[in-house]
Amino acid sequence: MMKKKIAFYWCAACGGCEVSVLDIDEMILDVIEKADIVFWPCAMDPKYEDLEAMEDEEIDIAFINGSIRSEENKEMVELIREKAKKVVAYGSCSSIGGLFGLGNLSSKEELIEVGYSTRSTDDGVRPQNESKVEEGELELPSLLHHVVPLDRVIEVDHYLPGCPPLPVQLEEAFTALLGDEDVGKYDLISQKSVCDVCAMDREEKRIEKIRPIQEVSIDPEKCILDQGVLCMGPATAGMCEAPCPSVAAHPCVGCNGPVRGMKDQGSRMLSALASVVGIEGEENMEEDELQEAIDSIRDPTGSFYTFSLPSSYLQYRRGDVDG
Amino acid sequence: MDEHEPRIIAFLCNWCSYAGGDLAGVNREQYPPNILSIRLMCSSRVSPEHVLESFQEGADGVLVAGCHPGDCHYINGNYKTKRKIEMMSKILKDMGINPERLRLEWISSAEGGKFAKVMKEMVEEVKQLGPLDLSDVPLEE
């Protein structure tokens, strides 16, 4: 059998996805047996020209991680799309927008202003697209208007969310993709929620109010949401098998994004919480008591959309729509 | 130039608010024709996704109306609605959309007058806010 040619590329990402490829331990040997890595800027030293020199569709599978934040990201993935038969959105950033998507709550001008006016930056200096130095002219790519997931700029063949995708997911994904199995576009996203696969003991949910995690000493046997700490389990796809709550007794932060077939993770979480928070004796509650229960959920936008804002209905702050 | 005529989606619960709308009709109450009503069994059936999708598909305002607290046909559905809409308002605000575009009202089946009044107010308010355009901006300048 001909060895497959695979490529890895990162866009706006933290680098965790690149490292996660190595998390599969000795299974990397199986991957290498079935495939040659022809392009991987993080681990090898290829130049843009090397990629440009490739034939169209020369790469069999390109794994692209990171969200699309700058013109460079967009240009590169468009080039990779030409050179690859299949593109996999690897990790949550490229699948659903990722953590960097929270940048969409500010305009790009605000981000640059805040980022470059800290104590440690020279006052008044802002990055320019072109700057002249002794050695010649330097260019920097511009930021796009807002962060988008990969499928907003190129066609994606498979989604593999996760922050980063865990070995258990990669084992399935690499085996299926490299073994020419018939994998649907969304097949690598679980239809089960994190709650569905979580081992914690659950009761019927009646939560008085949501408390910050530092104020609660968490019982590692019991459902974390039942204990009044915001856990994104109900609205999050569970292909990770729930290690955060089950192993670390830490609430799910929602990194896998919505379960298969759902678009808006935040909406789902909001619906779930609306039915369980502050329901004890709600019919006799005063207006302000009810308000208190609702207000106990701090920063709903940031908490519910931590990883999925760019792929939600609203995508970015529409500051220019209403003042 | 013609004045902007807002489009408003009204999610009405079957047992109170929709009946309230019926009564408004029977009583010959006048209200503007900008409302597109959608009848649901309970106001709590309105998911945040319905609201967001309405906005995205061109609604300038969304009204959710249900039974008064304590009167829900399904015992406590309207309390859930209340919590949902409150949280939604916060999210809309964060996302730069005026939360006044989303309104929650309790309208009973005997309140035809209130139904017409709410509709008039809502249309007037949303008219003031102007059209909501959620079409995506180009990524590159």
Best residue in A75, A109, A230, A267 for a mutation probing chain B (most B CBs within 10 Å): A267
Residue carrying structure tokens 């169209």? A56
B141/A239 Cα distance (integer angstroms): 38
Query: Domain span at residue A80?
Result: 4-101+143-178
pLDDT of residue A322: 52
In tens, the pLDDT along A262-283 reads 999 999 999 999 999 888 878 7
Largest CA distance in chain B: 54
Determine the CATH number of domain B8-129. 3.40.50
Domain tally, chain A: 2
pLDDT of residue B58: 92
Write out residues 92-121 of A within 8 Å (CB-CB) of B.
105
Asked if residue A173 belongs to a domain, the reply is: yes
The confidence band for A320, taking pLDDT boundaries of 50, 70 and 90, is: low
Q: What is the mean pLDDT of residues A293-300?
A: 91
Q: At what angle do helices A287-295 and B77-94 cross, to 10 degrees?
A: 50
Asked if residue A200 belongs to a domain, the reply is: yes
The distance of B104 to chain A (nearest Cα, Å) reads 15
Compare all CA atoms of chain B with the CA of A69 and give the residue at the minimum distance: B139
- A291 and B CB contact within 8 Å: yes
pTM greater than 0.90 (yes/no) = yes
Q: Are residues A219 and A268 in the same domain?
A: yes
Asked if residue A256 belongs to a domain, the reply is: yes
Asked if residue A116 belongs to a domain, the reply is: no
R_g (Cα) of chain B, nearest Å: 15
A316/A102 Cα distance (integer angstroms): 8
In sequence order, which ranges of A179-298 are alpha helices (DSSP H)? Answer: 194-197, 243-248, 265-274, 287-295
Asked if residue A27 belongs to a domain, the reply is: yes
pLDDT of residue B137: 86
Q: Are residues A233 and A149 in the same domain?
A: no
Q: Are residues A45 and A155 in the same domain?
A: yes
Instruction: Select from B129, B36, B83, B141 the least CA-distant residue to A141.
Output: B141
Q: Are residues A161 and A48 in the same domain?
A: yes
Q: Are residues A168 and A290 in the same domain?
A: no
Q: Are residues A154 and A62 in the same domain?
A: yes
Q: How far is CA A76 from CA A56, A69, A79, A137, A209, in A?
A: 14, 12, 5, 21, 46
A178, A203, A221: which is the final residue of a domain?
A178
In tens, the pLDDT along A227-243 reads 999 999 999 999 999 99
SS percent in chain B: helix, strand, coil, step 5: 45, 15, 40
Please tell me whether residue A159 adopts helix, strand or coil conformation: strand
- B97 and A CB contact within 8 Å: yes
In tens, the pLDDT along B27-40 reads 999 999 999 999 99
Residue carrying structure tokens 């050695």? A135
A190/A185 Cα distance (integer angstroms): 12
A135, A152, A178: which is the final residue of a domain?
A178
CA B118 to chain centre: 10
Q: Are residues A258 and A173 in the same domain?
A: no
- B82 and A CB contact within 8 Å: yes
- B98 and A CB contact within 8 Å: yes
Asked if residue A127 belongs to a domain, the reply is: no
Asked if residue A114 belongs to a domain, the reply is: no
The distance of B129 to chain A (nearest Cα, Å) reads 8
Kindly list the strands in the beta sheet with B35-40, ordered across the sheet, starting from the edge strand earlier in the chain. B35-40, B8-13, B61-66, B102-106
A263·B49 Cβ contact <8 A: yes
Q: What is the mean pLDDT of residues A303-310?
A: 96
CATH classification of the domain holding A171: 3.40.50.700
Asked if residue A296 belongs to a domain, the reply is: yes
A151, A178, A205: which is the final residue of a domain?
A178
Q: Are residues A224 and A299 in the same domain?
A: yes
A2/A34 Cα distance (integer angstroms): 8
Q: Are residues A174 and A215 in the same domain?
A: no
Q: What is the mean pLDDT of each run of 10 residues along chain B (141 residues)?
A: 85 97 96 96 96 94 95 92 94 93 96 96 94 88 76
As given in the structure block, the two tokens for residue A314 are 């609203």
Map out the domains of chain B as residue ranges: 8-129
